C-alpha cells in the first residue's frame, strides 16, 4: 500500500496534534519506502554529462588516431615511390625490400602506383638484384591476376640467367600453368644457360603433376 492510500484510509485517525499510536508504525514504514523510491528515481544530470563527455572523448581519440595512422601510411608510400625512382640502384633495391617487408602491415590492398612502378623495375631496371627483389615483392600478392601476367611476360623476355631462374622458381610456386609455354621455349633455346634450362625442365615437371 502506498503512503497516499494509507493516509486516505486512516484520515479519521489523524488530527492536527498527534498521530494515533496504532497508525504510527505503518506510517513510518510507508514513509521510508516512499523516500527510498524517490531517491532511486532522482536523475543526476552531472553524472550523465560526465558519461556523455567520456564517450565523446573516446570517439574523438579514435578518430584522430585513425587519421594519424592513415597519414603515416600515405607518407610512407610516397617515400617508397620516390626511392623506387632513385638513380642509385642501391636506393631502388632498398625501397623494394622495404615494400616487401612492410606490405602485410601497411598495405591492406595493393597500392596501384607502387605496383605499376614495380612492373617497370621488373621489365626495365638495369640491376639484376633490383629485378630479383621485385619478383619477391610481387609474388606476395598471389591472387592478383595482373601481377601473374606481368611475371609471365617478364619470363618471356628476360635474358639474364639469375633473373630467369628467379622468375621460373616464383611461377612454379604460384602453380602458374600459363608459364609452360615460355618454359618450353627456354628448354628448346640452345643459347640458354644449362642451369637455366635445367630449372625450366624441373618447373615443367612440377607444373604437370
Note the pLDDT tens digit of each residue in 152-175.
999 999 999 999 999 999 999 999
Residue-range domain boundaries for the chain:
1-42, 43-208
CA distances, 76 to each of 72, 108, 209 (Å) = 6, 14, 42
Residue 75 has pLDDT above 60, yes or no: yes
Burial of residue 56 (CB within 10 Å: 0-12, 13-18, 19+) is exposed
Confidence of residue 183 (pLDDT cuts 50, 70, 90): very high
Confidence of residue 17 (pLDDT cuts 50, 70, 90): very low
- Euclidean distance between CA atoms 208 and 189, whole angstroms: 20
DSSP code of residue 16: S
More confident residue, 32 or 56: 56
Q: Who's near 147: CB < 8 A, 6+ residues apart?
A: 115, 138, 139, 141
CATH number (3.30.420.40, 3.40.50.300, 1.25.10.10, 3.40.50.10800) of 43-208 reads 1.25.10.10
Residue 134 has pLDDT above 80, yes or no: yes
What confidence score (pLDDT) does residue 149 get?
A: 98
- Euclidean distance between CA atoms 129 and 14, whole angstroms: 104
Amino acid at each position: 500500500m502506498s503512503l497516499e492510500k494509507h493516509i486516505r484510509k486512516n484520515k479519521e485517525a489523524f488530527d492536527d496534534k498527534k498521530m494515533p499510536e496504532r497508525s504510527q508504525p505503518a506510517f513510518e514504514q510507508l514513509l521510508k519506502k516512499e523516500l527510498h523510491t524517490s531517491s532511486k528515481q532522482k536523475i543526476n544530470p552531472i553524472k550523465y554529462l560526465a558519461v556523455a563527455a567520456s564517450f565523446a572523448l573516446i570517439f574523438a581519440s579514435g578518430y584522430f588516431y585513425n587519421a594519424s595512422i592513415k597519414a603515416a601510411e600515405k607518407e610512407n608510400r610516397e617515400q617508397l615511390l620516390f626511392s623506387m625512382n632513385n638513380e642509385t640502384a642501391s636506393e631502388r633495391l632498398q625501397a623494394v625490400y622495404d615494400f616487401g617487408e612492410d606490405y602485410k602491415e601497411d598495405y591492406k590492398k595493393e597500392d596501384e602506383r607502387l605496383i605499376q612502378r614495380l612492373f617497370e623495375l621488373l621489365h626495365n631496371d638495369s640491376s639484376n638484384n633490383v629485378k630479383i627483389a621485385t619478383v619477391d615483392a610481387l609474388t606476395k600478392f598471389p591472387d592478383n591476376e595482373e601481377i601473374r601476367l606481368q611475371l609471365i611476360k617478364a619470363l618471356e623476355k628476360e635474358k639474364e640467367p639469375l633473373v630467369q631462374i628467379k622468375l621460373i622458381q616464383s611461377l612454379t610456386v604460384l602453380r602458374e600453368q600459363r608459364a609452360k609455354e615460355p618454359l618450353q621455349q627456354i628448354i628448346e633455346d640452345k643459347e640458354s644457360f644449362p642451369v637455366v634450362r635445367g630449372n625450366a625442365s624441373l618447373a615443367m615437371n612440377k607444373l604437370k603433376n
